[in-house]
Structure 1
Amino acid sequence: MAHSRNKTALVGLLVGALLAGGCGTVATVAAPEPVAVQEPAAASSPGLVRLTGDIRTPRDLDADDLAALPHHTVAVEYESGSGRQSHSEAGVLLADMVPADALAITDRKNDVLSFGVLAVGADGYAALVSFGEISPEFGDRGVLLATAEDGKPLERPRLVVPGDVKGGRYVSDVVELRVIRTAD
């Protein structure tokens, strides 16, 4: 019984202290401001890809611009929601589209490793690859913007990340490649 009285007294003291300390008011904490999500770039024609962000010269690349760059073909396998996928993808390496000298880099040691490329699809779906993954001097993963799959032209390019176990970073209908500085 003494234990129960002590417990009741302790609870009473705590409630009294809270009411006296806060004068009976309830503290509120402001919710953080939501992060603005940018809409995908509007592509005026199928195949047009905007190159934007932390680069020296933003520009639009159309099918002719992409065709003028060196093309590579890679065989890929990955898991998707509909099972195992196996394809031959042909297109332009991101390293050729976004070379290190196109980045808005500083003289900081290996500053290129502070960048990523966010591929944005026409539906707003997006995935990020680090510049270190695409750079021939670092990861050299052969990440490409495919313009054809299994020998058939794609209406809009697709981001292809060879070696990924799952196809989550395969972005279809790419309309924008947004270069992002990920570190200050």
Structure 2
Amino acid sequence: MTRLLIGIAALVVGLLVGCGAPAVAPAPAGAPAEVPPVGTVRLTGDLVAPTGVTLEDLAALPQQTVEVSFGSGQGRQTRTETGPALADVLPADALAVAPDRHNDLLSFAVLAVGSDGYTAAVAYGDVSADFGDRGLLLSLVEDGRALERPRLVVPGDVRGGRYVSDLVELRVVRVR
């Protein structure tokens, strides 16, 4: 299982580094990266119909509240996060699956991109209720405070490295 995860991570890094266009266009030194308007998240990549969602769209979806804990450079952090499940934002029928491939949903990853260009990947199997169902969500409210941009929350992450703040893009990529 560890080898599979390492292989998927290597493929995703390869996609980001040289096999395709970067998720966020590089900006000249000192200039901010090109980002969509505040409150908008682009849904791109291997989707049936790439689109975008607004904070209002996300708030209209069923909301979940979870308490998460993770380690950071400042020590142990505990947060209460509220927002829609990532599976509701990117449902299985939105992905460009091949109907003739067995469990094709497991061939996808989601790259979450922050406004600063920080990118983290999650396997779609961890998103899907039919497989890992890890409870990933896009937080709109953290510790009772509304966020200006959503935050990807990955419950169970030991160090919170796949938490992506100031989310601007969710790029679905086929990894096999």
Residue-by-residue CA offset, 1:150-183 (whole Å, 9 max, x unaligned): 1110111111000111111011100000001011
Matched position secondary structure for 1:60 = strand
Gaps of at least 5 residues in structure 2 are 1-16, 26-33
Q: TM-score, normalised by structure 1?
A: 0.78
- Among residues 144, 147, 170, which one is paired with 1:151 in the alignment? 144
Residue-by-residue CA offset, 1:110-144 (whole Å, 9 max, x unaligned): 00000011000000000000010010011110001
The CA RMSD measured in Å over matched residues stands at: 1.4
- CA gap 1:143/1:166 in 2 versus in 1, 3 angstroms: same
Gaps of at least 5 residues in structure 1 are 1-33
- Among residues 132, 136, 141, which one is paired with 2:129 in the alignment? 136
CA–CA separation in structure 1 for the residues paired with 2:175 and 2:21: 16
- After TM superposition, list the pairs within 5 Å mapping 1:19-168 onto structure 2: 35=18, 38-40=22-24, 42-106=34-98, 107-168=100-161
Residue-by-residue CA offset, 1:33-92 (whole Å, 9 max, x unaligned): x71551527434211100000000111101111111111110000001111000000011
CA–CA separation in structure 1 for the residues paired with 2:64 and 2:104: 27
CA–CA separation in structure 2 for the residues paired with 1:39 and 1:55: 15
Structure 1 residue identity aligned to 2:104: D
Tell me the residue number matched to 1:19: none
CA–CA separation in structure 1 for the residues paired with 2:90 and 2:71: 28
Matched position secondary structure for 2:161 = helix
- The ranges of structure 1 where at least 4 consecutive aligned residues each deviate by more than 6 angstroms after the TM superposition are none
- Among residues 158, 162, 175, which one is paired with 1:169 in the alignment? 162
Count how many residue pairs are aligned between Structure 1 and Structure 2.
150
**Larger radius of gyration between Structure 1 and Structure 2:** 1
Structure 1 residue identity aligned to 2:79: H
Tell me the residue number matched to 1:30: none
Identical columns (%) = 59
Deviates most, 42-51 or 77-86: 42-51
CA–CA separation in structure 1 for the residues paired with 2:36 and 2:68: 30
